[in-house]
Structure 1
Amino acid sequence: MSSKHHESILDSTNGERFRKLQSLTNHWRRPATPRAYYWYLTFDIPPHLRSLVRRCQEAISFPYYDLLADSDLHLTLDRIAFEGNITLDQLNSIKAAAINACEEIPPLNITIGSLGGTSGAIGFSASPIGKIRHLRDTLREATLSIYPDAPIKDSEFHPHVTIAYCNASDVSATQAVAAVEKLSGLTCADVTAKEGALVLLERRKRSYSWEAIFHIPLSGR
């Protein structure tokens, strides 16, 4: 599949939003929150994606960006609960509900590309948006059936894979925008996500650390 076709099926607004930025903001300036459980979509990192990420990270390796390691790449689907607000029994019940709800969902073939982002981060868009959103909604319904007070995020859903977070505020976006513009013609990468993951996420000084608590297989036909 050509890179042009890849770009046509991705969320083109990712790059458009980024090109309009005037200045960057510090992603880490927000107050730290307690550890929390999230739904992630995880996948193996094939060599062509690893190469794409490294090339892009080399181009944006400015001191005001903190780059993510390959092993940390993921797609965030939804927030479930802060650690102290949910019990192990509830988590296990959510797992059972999610396995049942996802039993007919097949593995997701995802295209990662169209570099862009926000004032606080740079990342790739992911598609097909409709199928990713359907998985997010399915997991959300399973979560709410057990834990109706889940602090889900109601913001507009733009599936993405972050590769860098900004660590400074009031920095001109000109340099970063120019670097991303030069990368706009790169070929996208295809990956297959065979499972969703419930993870425990912890924010550190200028990074995140997460641990998969359990996995939800996507093995439908």
Structure 2
Amino acid sequence: MSSRELASLHQRWMTYQNLPELTNHWYWRPGWRADRQFYTWHLTFEHQPDLHHLASHIQSELALAELDLVPINALHLTMQGVGFTDDVSVQDLRRIVAEARQRCAELQPLRLMLGPVDPDEEGIGLLVQPWNQVEQLRAAIREAIGAVWQDVPEAAEDFRPHVTIAYSGTSAPAGPIRDRLTGLRHQPPVEVTVHQATLIALRRENRTYRWTTVATAPLAG
């Protein structure tokens, strides 16, 4: 684990120790509503049995009313937003996909370690390491968007790769969740190999994220 990742994990856990209560993750962000979808690039984990086993094990210890567990087939790593589906033209989207495929073909598949648990006020995630591989892929996707649009959505900085396994579903005391997590922090991480970036149309549905796959950008190899 690099010094950046270790420092982040330690700092976030120390902050969590002093957290009085959870924040409901499901408030509506600007522009979002129930009937609206959002184009975004994600990493998805459909064929990763080791990750699925780890997530299921941790979730079995977190079956509490205050938490909304992420379905195993909805595990994801948020990479880079593009825009709401009613704001992005088909022509622009096709050009962005073409540019992304060209750039991703020059990158090797990502070999990542997921874990240990890394909580905050809105949910419980798994630490992703190393960050630099994910950052390199995200930079390539941002370059692809920048080849089509003058302004790339979302900030380039303050990106922290993570995979959420449970969202905070209400404002509730953090203590009971913290007590459960203390015994789970030493679960060993698992390795995953990511072979593509996935462009999805994302929606919120019954207190979870669901999506339709729009396109993929394979990594070399």
**Are 2:27 and 1:29 aligned?**
yes
Q: CA deviation at 1:61?
A: 1.0
Letter paired with 2:215: F
SS of 1:50 mapped into structure 2 = helix
**Are 2:184 and 1:183 aligned?**
yes
In 1, distance between residues paired with 2:88 and 2:4?
Answer: 41
Question: Contact between 1:125 and 1:158, CA under 8 Å: does it hold in 2?
Answer: no
Letter paired with 2:178: V
* Residue equivalent to 2:211: 210
In 2, distance between residues paired with 1:176 and 1:97?
Answer: 43
* Residue equivalent to 2:115: 113
Question: Contact between 2:111 and 2:193, CA under 8 Å: does it hold in 1?
Answer: yes
* Residue equivalent to 1:63: 65
SS of 1:12 mapped into structure 2 = helix
Matches within 5 A, 1:129-148: 129-148=131-150
| C-alpha RMSD of the superposition | 2.2
Q: CA deviation at 1:8?
A: 9.7
Question: Contact between 1:43 and 1:192, CA under 8 Å: does it hold in 2?
Answer: no
* Residue equivalent to 1:174: 175
Query: Are residues 41 and 28 of structure 1, via their aligned partners in 2, closer, same or farther at CA, if it must alter by over 3 Å?
Result: same
Question: Contact between 2:66 and 2:168, CA under 8 Å: does it hold in 1?
Answer: yes
Letter paired with 1:195: Q
* Residue equivalent to 2:81: 79
Q: CA deviation at 1:9?
A: 6.0
**Are 2:9 and 1:12 aligned?**
yes
Letter paired with 1:28: W
| TM-score normalised by structure 2 residue count | 0.89
Fraction of identical pairs, as percent: 30
In 2, distance between residues paired with 1:45 and 1:100?
Answer: 24
**Which stretch shows the higher mean deviation, 190-199 or 173-182?**
173-182
In 2, distance between residues paired with 1:201 and 1:78?
Answer: 12
In 2, distance between residues paired with 1:160 and 1:187?
Answer: 16
In 2, distance between residues paired with 1:143 and 1:78?
Answer: 10
| TM-score normalised by structure 1 residue count | 0.89
Structure 1: 5+ residue stretches without partners: none
Structure 2: 5+ residue stretches without partners: none
In 2, distance between residues paired with 1:182 and 1:6?
Answer: 24
Question: Contact between 1:43 and 1:74, CA under 8 Å: does it hold in 2?
Answer: yes
Q: CA-to-partner distance for each residue in 1:109-164, whole Å, 9 max, x for gaps?
A: 01000202221111101111011111111101111221334432456111000111
Letter paired with 1:166: S
SS of 1:29 mapped into structure 2 = coil
